[in-house]
Amino acid sequence: MSFVTENQPDGTPTWIDLGIPDLEGAMRFYGALFGWDFEVGPPETMRYTQCLLGGRRVAALAENPDPEATAFWWNVYLATGDCDAAVRRVTDAGGTVVMEPVDVPDQGRMAMVKDPVGAQFGLWEGRGFVGCEVVNEPGSLVRNDLITPDPEPARAFYAAVFGFTLDGNQDMPGFDFTFLRRPDGHEIGGIMGVPGAPSSSWATTFEVADTDAVVARAAEAGGSPGPAEDFVYGRMATITDPFGAELTVIARPEAQRG
């Protein structure tokens, strides 16, 4: 298993969460989809529920407090050793601050920001909490990619903020896809230029053992799955949960896992 026991290097996707209007309904859906268990916080706090795989944290579900909210999406948090300094780099590179840095007692420090093309993401400075404790295994986060109709400013922004190198993808010559790599060469995700995309957002992909089986479970649990299709990196499908939040699942060949 791919366990995480310490803070990830800067720029690495390190945590994901989803705010939805029906916490119990989301627990039923994602429990059926991925086999997650749930650790519910005390009732006097915001209803923020840790999702567990084999007893280790993989994500969180939160009850969205806005009764007028109509759009829901998975948030990705990128690791940083200094949240405040990262926020300054964000604004220097043309991004904006959605939520100023704030301490999460005994856990860490976080902020929410947007890049110059409008995609929102979080920053996480782990202190007592590293984020996802299992990754790259069935039922857990495997990657995040930015989908945008305007990729060039996004590429410049993430290179400036996190020191990423930008590499083209020879496996996908018909797509405008750029790998984002940390200074140590590790790939953390990518930027996909999609001219017809209505907006810019970070997409979340989960590893699964059997894409077709997960698609069937999604439909049975009240979601709206797209077809499972073979792709250069594995068998993939896009699923819309009962609240309208999209996610992607992929079953990769064993040789590509790690």
Neighbours of 184 (CB within 10 A): 6
Q: What's the confidence (pLDDT) of residue 170?
A: 78
Q: What is the mean pLDDT of the chain?
A: 93
Q: Does the pLDDT value for residue 115 go beyond 80?
A: yes
Q: How far apart are the first and last CA of the chain?
A: 9
d(CA 120, CA 137): 25
Q: What's the confidence (pLDDT) of residue 257?
A: 58
Q: What's the confidence (pLDDT) of residue 65?
A: 72
Q: What's the confidence (pLDDT) of residue 45?
A: 57
Superfamily of segment(s) 141-256: 2,3-Dihydroxybiphenyl 1,2-Dioxygenase, domain 1 (3.10.180.10)
Assigned token pair, 28: 């039923």
Mean pLDDT, residues 52-75 taken together: 88
Q: Delimit the domains of the chain by residue range.
A: 13-126, 141-256
d(CA 170, CA 160): 24
Q: Which of 60, 19, 18, 14 is nearest to 37 (CA)?
A: 60
Mean pLDDT, residues 159-171 taken together: 91
pTM over 0.85: yes
pLDDT in tens, 169-214: 877 777 899 999 999 999 999 999 999 999 999 999 999 999 999 9
Q: What's the confidence (pLDDT) of residue 256?
A: 61
Fold of the domain built from segment(s) 13-126: 2,3-Dihydroxybiphenyl 1,2-Dioxygenase; domain 1 (3.10.180)
Q: What residues form DSSP beta bridges with 239?
A: 225, 247
Quick check: 254 and 82 in contact, CB under 8 A? no
Neighbours of 205 (CB within 10 A): 20
